[in-house]
Amino acid sequence: MLETAVIRDSVGFEQLEPHWNHLLERGTAGGCHSTFEWLSTWWRHFGVGRQLLLAVASEDSVVVGIAPMYVDTQRRSLHFIGQGLSDYADVLVPEGRTDIVRALIESVLGERSSWDAVGLEELPQASPNLAVIAACFAEAGVALSEHVTVKCPYLPITATWEEFWPSLGKSFRHDRHNKMNRCRRDGLELDYNDRRTVDSALLDEVVALSDRRRSFDTHRSPFLCHPDQEFLRDVLPLMGSRNQLRFGELRVEGRLAAFVLAYHWRGTVYDWNTQYDPDYYAYSLGRIVLATVVKQTFREGCHEFDFMRGEEDYKFQWTSLSRTNTALRTASGL
């Protein structure tokens, strides 16, 4: 028998840890930003002024579904936990269990006295849960409109690196070759490290590098926004300790010169943040380190490299494929 409950406090949230990622592994939706590590840490940092609304479904006393949501108490609006920093959001249910999706959303609808508006952002348009969620709200008389938000390029890994690399554009490969030759000609010795964990000292270097980049071209970075930075300083070591982190770095004479921060979940590597030191702008170290990380992903036997949300040109030099994120919003325009 399917039963639902709503968790409204952090203690109840933490008690879901033994079930959370196991449930995420059984579904087709969700990814690195749906893990317990990411969302529970987000809630600890950003939960002030917000009311937790975690709908949980159980079957024979086993947790089989979670709708990770909260209410912005000031705006009386309903959102996914992690909104703002998460590239993807969804409910967590086993594959094919639309009945659980319905039960979860009906439980959320049962809390309508606490919210008036809905702003569920960054749902993958291909999610099997999207249509069910929208239908449940519609049947309850809550009119939602669907808004396409952003493309998310991705690269399926179906061959070896040696087979894949020649398939990229000739000008792309030629440019990388020239940049590597320029590094050698100018005596720039690049030291690449594939790291799976981070510590406070490395994160200090990341913040300093991000600040130099911002001074150069006003590039925005979550490492330079203090609420986001504190969250990242907390969550990244945790994810690293659980094999959910990939950090590719390039150093020049021991100094951090470029990095790719990526996440790993179930054979997919998710590219989340790339930075380079503007002192080495002419060498395109950001692109060099990204190529090295992608190559490492092939070597690991992963099945996909996800460039995540954003339609930057460099992503489409690697792939022509993309998915689309969408948002479900009420007429208030949230």
302, 160 in Cβ contact below 8 A? no
pLDDT value of position 130: 96
Q: Are strands 190-195 and 145-156 parallel, antiparallel or unpaired?
A: unpaired
Q: Give the mean pLDDT of 95-122.
A: 96
CATH architecture of 158-302: 3-Layer(aba) Sandwich (3.40)
Residue 215, classified by CB atoms within 10 Å of its CB into exposed (0-12), middle (13-18) or buried (19+), is exposed
Q: Is the pLDDT of residue 333 over 60?
A: no
97, 306 in Cβ contact below 8 A? no
Comparing C-alpha atoms, which of 92, 104, 84, 108 is closest to residue 27?
A: 92
Q: Are strands 50-59 and 145-156 parallel, antiparallel or unpaired?
A: unpaired
Domain 2-151+324-329 fold: Aminopeptidase (3.40.630)
Q: Is the pLDDT of residue 179 over 80?
A: yes
DSSP state of 303: S
Distance, in Å, from the CA atom of 208 to the CA atom of 215, rounded to the nearest integer, reads 11
Distance, in Å, from the CA atom of 308 to the CA atom of 286, rounded to the nearest integer, reads 17
CB atoms within 10 A of CB 2: 15
User: In this structure, what are the phi and psi dihedrals at residue 10, rounded to the nearest 5 degrees?
Assistant: -65, -30
**pLDDT band per the 50, 70, 90 thresholds, residue 332:** low
Kindly report the pTM of this predicted structure: 0.96
**pLDDT band per the 50, 70, 90 thresholds, residue 223:** very high
pLDDT value of position 62: 94
pLDDT value of position 30: 82
**pLDDT band per the 50, 70, 90 thresholds, residue 268:** very high
Distance set, CA 34 to CA 8, 59, 66, 68, 156 (Å):
18, 21, 11, 9, 21
Given its phi and psi angles, is residue 317 left (phi above 0), alpha (psi -120 to 50 degrees) or beta? alpha
Distance set, CA 80 to CA 55, 204, 228 (Å):
11, 30, 17
Q: Is the pLDDT of residue 334 over 80?
A: no
Distance set, CA 127 to CA 91, 152, 236 (Å):
10, 13, 26
Q: Give the mean pLDDT of 156-179.
A: 94
The tens digit of pLDDT for each residue in 31-51 reads 999 999 999 999 999 999 999
Comparing C-alpha atoms, which of 237, 234, 227, 228 is closest to residue 199?
A: 237
Residue 259, classified by CB atoms within 10 Å of its CB into exposed (0-12), middle (13-18) or buried (19+), is buried
Three-state secondary structure call for residue 322: strand
**pLDDT band per the 50, 70, 90 thresholds, residue 29:** confident
Q: Average pLDDT of the chain?
A: 95
pLDDT value of position 81: 98
Q: Give the mean pLDDT of 198-214.
A: 97
Q: Over the Cα atoms of the chain, what is R_g?
A: 21
Q: Which sign does the torsion angle of CA 313, 315, 319, 323 carry?
A: negative
DSSP state of 92: B
Three-state secondary structure call for residue 120: strand
**pLDDT band per the 50, 70, 90 thresholds, residue 1:** confident
327, 123 in Cβ contact below 8 A? yes
Q: Is the pLDDT of residue 312 over 80?
A: yes
HSE, CB side, 13 Å, CA atoms: give it for residue 91.
33
**pLDDT band per the 50, 70, 90 thresholds, residue 163:** very high
In this chain, the answer to whether the domains covering 2-151+324-329 and 158-302 adopt an identical fold is: yes
What residue spans define the domains of the chain?
A: 2-151+324-329, 158-302
